Amino acid sequence: MFHIHVPRLAKGFGCSFFLVLGIASQAPAQGPAAAYPPYGSAIPVITNTEHRSGAVGEDTQKMPPPNGPNEESIWNMKVEGFNDNQARPIYQPLIVNQNGREIMYNGNLSGTAMNPLTGVSESNGTSIIDVTNVKRPKFLFHIPGPDPINGSFAAAGAQMVRVCPGSSMPNAAANGIAGKFFLLRAFGNAGANESHQIWDVTEPSAPKFLTTIISGLSNTHKSWWECDTGIAYLVAGSKSDGWQQSGSTQHVYIYDLSNPAKPQFIRQFGLPGQQPTASVATQQPCLNAPSDTCFEGTTNPPGGVHGPISMGTVVNRVYMPYGVGSSGVIQIDDRMKLINGCKATGPGSNPNASPNCQNSPTQADLLWPQVSWVTMNPENGGHSSMPVFNVPIPEAQSNFGDGTPESKSLLFVSSEGTANNCFGQAPHDAWILDIANEQTPWPMATLNVPQFPGNFCGKGARFGAHAVTEQIYPPYYGKIISVSWFNAGVRVWDIRDPKNPKPLAYFIQAPTSNTAASCSTINGVTNCFNATMNDYVEYDDRGFIYAADRAGTGVTILSLTGEARNAILPQSEQ
């Protein structure tokens, strides 16, 4: 199932990991100088706070059933604040500490809505909300998205957001970006001329357009931007670059954005079998017919990448989920080799790189940075792949191996449920993979939300996993994990005993008059429902949890209470 291409890497990884621990122990726990990805490259240290009997030995909490479909349901969480996001449907939220102000950036799905600040109906773009006071969030600005094409909004929207402080970039002073903040956003979703843009958001209530990184794109999607190096992994497709995918047609464009005004192209990247020169008509699966012209996964050509996550320079890994909701592949890449693999000299370089490696790589060029890959079943795709490093295993603190306390590095993977009322598709879950030996990732546990109680397939909209939280908040790191689960809301698990993840908290937003209807046809009858869909859940650097609604209901700001709060406390305070 797994393909190994870079031997001996695990040893290097192990050494660098101790270095990470050393750095992280001195890193600030919060604030704009946070040292963790994507702002830095340190990784928080996780201390074991579980009894050796783990989750199995604890009193099992009984998860309460949700209320009726029109009501809010909440367990071990508290609502701190709310903003309606101008009734725009949110895809990706991101909360950034800008010199003490907590600013929320929401990438919105396409459409239009009235902007009461301007009195104009604006194409959905990027919402900017000051959430410093969570009790009273203040909508500061809406940067419109693209205009419709031929009257259709199918190509519009600006779903994705990343923000970096200029001060954390290399050569910040020389480039005149110290003290500034920059927004990277997708501009359009599926048109023939979509792009990725950079805006100066130093003053978030008055953002200024800076530059277009790349245009002529289609299918822009979820990007990643390393704020300490400037390296950005932009996701998009193009109707003219020749890359080949099934389903969602997108791959990775890597840029150096350390000087945001002057983007520097590095290379394009994707899964073997997607490159422009791949012979889709004849290529066979690498799984059982490996060759120098095969495709990874179960679909030919493989499904597009959803959103890379880089863990920075020290860990030196990039995690890439492909396929989104079906026929997925999870790929682990060596970051240095990924960035420098088209160069002939220097760290990570490939002396055998092909002449067209940057834009039209060979399979060998694509395999150069690949550490390993996991083929998912056809029912599930790769939507999120977020690692958590060195999680203590409670039962293995003294009695296994040589008695040394054992920890595991984990990869949290989710597929995406895409059907309203579950009709026509299998359940979509999230999983914990053991990546302690990263050449051979291995399943450890499933994160599942049962359909009952709650009758989630009957309440309308989508039901199933979507996205794993990506922001690192050290007190939560390795203790809890949050996953957005569409109409089943925000779901939080206790992962201190990762072999036995325990449901710990949830929040399901009640529909309002802003909630968009979700309609589905089952057995020839079409019904429409009012149901919220938690699209993404994200943390800020104070530990507040943001539930963003895909159905236009807004964003709810939450905190942990009860047992969920206890789970993040040191053992002495539990």
- Here's the x/- map for other proteins, 544-563, by CB under 8 A: it reads as ------xxx-x---------
Which of positions 172-211 make contact with other proteins (CB under 8 A)?
Answer: 189-192
3-class SS of residue 290: coil
Q: How far is the CB of 239 from other proteins (least distance, A)?
A: 11
| Closest C-alpha among 18, 1, 10, 3 to residue 437 | 10
> Does 455 engage in binding with other proteins (CB under 8 A)?
yes
- By CB under 8 A, name the one of 73, 299, 409, 420 that touches other proteins: 420
CA 101-106-110 angle, to 5 degrees, is 160
- By CB under 8 A, name the one of 304, 341, 441, 498 that touches other proteins: 304
Find out whether 290 and 284 touch, Cβ atoms under 8 Å. Answer: no
Q: How far is the CB of 142 from other proteins (least distance, A)?
A: 10
- By CB under 8 A, name the one of 70, 99, 279, 398 that touches other proteins: 70
DSSP string over 464-531: S---B--S--TTTTTTEEEEE-BTT-EEEEE-SSTTS-EEEEEEEPPP-TTPPEEEEEETTEEEEEE-
- By CB under 8 A, name the one of 183, 294, 324, 376 that touches other proteins: 324
Residue 563 CA: distances (Å) to CA of 120, 503, 507: 45, 10, 15
Q: Which residues contact 431 (CB under 8 A, 6 or more apart)?
A: 412, 413, 414, 443, 444, 445, 446, 447
Q: How far is the CB of 360 from other proteins (least distance, A)?
A: 22
Q: How far is the CB of 185 from other proteins (least distance, A)?
A: 14
Which of positions 211-240 make contact with other proteins (CB under 8 A)?
Answer: 218-219, 221, 237
**What is the rounded CA–CA span in Å between residue 211 and residue 198?**
5
Rank residues 372 and 515 by Cβ distance to other proteins and give the closer one. 515
Q: How far is the CB of 120 from other proteins (least distance, A)?
A: 10
Which of positions 462-501 make contact with other proteins (CB under 8 A)?
Answer: none
Find out whether 381 and 467 touch, Cβ atoms under 8 Å. Answer: no
Q: How far is the CB of 525 from other proteins (least distance, A)?
A: 7
Q: How far is the CB of 127 from other proteins (least distance, A)?
A: 10
Q: Which stretch binds other proteins (CB under 8 A): 281-289, 351-359, 361-369, 516-524?
A: 516-524
The strands making up 384-392's β-sheet, listed across from edge to edge, are 384-392, 407-414, 430-434, 442-447
Which residue(s) pair with 374 in the sheet? Answer: 330
Which of positions 80-139 make contact with other proteins (CB under 8 A)?
Answer: 81-84, 86-87, 89, 91, 109-114, 116-117, 119, 121, 129-130, 136-139
Rank residues 246 and 259 by Cβ distance to other proteins and give the closer one. 246
Rank residues 376 and 410 by Cβ distance to other proteins and give the closer one. 376
